[in-house]
Amino acid sequence: MSLARLARAGELTAVWVPDERHEAMRDLSRSRQAAKKDLQGKRQQISSLMLRLGRYYPGKKTWGPAHMKWLMSQKLEYREQRMVLEELLQGIRQEGERVERLEQAIREAVPEWSLAEVVTALQAMRGIDLIAAVVILAEIGDLSRFQNPRELMGYLGLVPSESSTGDNVKRGGITKAGNGRARRILVEAAWSYRYPPRVGRQKQPKVAAAPRRVREIAWKAQTRLCRRFRSLERKGKLRTVVATAVARELLAFIWAINREVMGTRQA
């Protein structure tokens, strides 16, 4: 009865309900994230083991072919420790294969998804590949339900918190409300804007696949956000704070690209 009265009075707010296919894509995306987390856990265990044994990798880049070759060449004194290392290395191989299988499943499922065009368009943005685009859209859903970028920023908790009393207004860190998975991907993508604006060789086909208007938005985002990242750094802001601020503005450009793609589809 209360719901009926509220509906008659116009006091209820409509919400977006994902269909079963969207929920399936979200489950697949989260399964890949879980596999990636398990892989990182196995790597951390090996790093901790090597650190306890006083074995330090002389190279710079870890977990590449050279690092894996170095790990497999380690001669440990005790059989028990050799057994532990072998099991962990086997676990890394298995988790890596699991991640590859799930990523391949995502690539195969995207063309049949209702948001496939938006996924293609978002890959024109710097720092966003196919997996990142799928995670963002699978977690947030239809971006068209947000009237403006500020609503989307607030939904993901990328806006500053506020503690006000009377005339005193005190702003704190971001609220971190909403979906943490999508927020993490956005912050990770924001770190790529610390470099000068450019489109790499591997990125060019993804940019070319997007509509002309989307390419223009993506380049505008890159020039603005790269400039924004450096400007905030010069002001002495912590890099983590800078990355979060850039992620907030990046979300506005993502909203604009979605509006461009979905508006064209509806037209």
Domain boundaries, the chain: 20-114, 119-262
List pLDDT tens digits, range 113-140: 999 999 999 999 999 999 999 999 999 9
Q: Can you state the angle between helices 20-52 and 130-140, rounded to 10 degrees?
A: 120
Q: Confidence band (pLDDT; 50, 70, 90) for 265?
A: low
Rounded to 5 degrees, what are φ and ψ at 173? -70, 180
Rounded CA-CA distance 175/159 in Å is 6
CA–CA distances in Å: residue 82 to residues 55, 58, 88, 92, 232: 14, 21, 10, 15, 48
Q: What is the pLDDT of residue 151?
A: 92
Question: Does residue 193 contact residue 218 with C-beta atoms inside 8 Å?
Answer: no
Report the predicted TM-score, pTM, of the whole model to 2 decimal places: 0.89
171, β-bridge pairs = 162
List pLDDT tens digits, range 16-71: 889 999 999 999 999 999 999 999 999 999 999 999 999 999 999 999 999 999 99
Give me the mean pLDDT over the 93-97 stretch: 96
Give me the mean pLDDT over the 12-16 stretch: 80
The single residue listed with the structure tokens 């990125």 is: 203
Identify the three-state secondary structure at position 192: helix
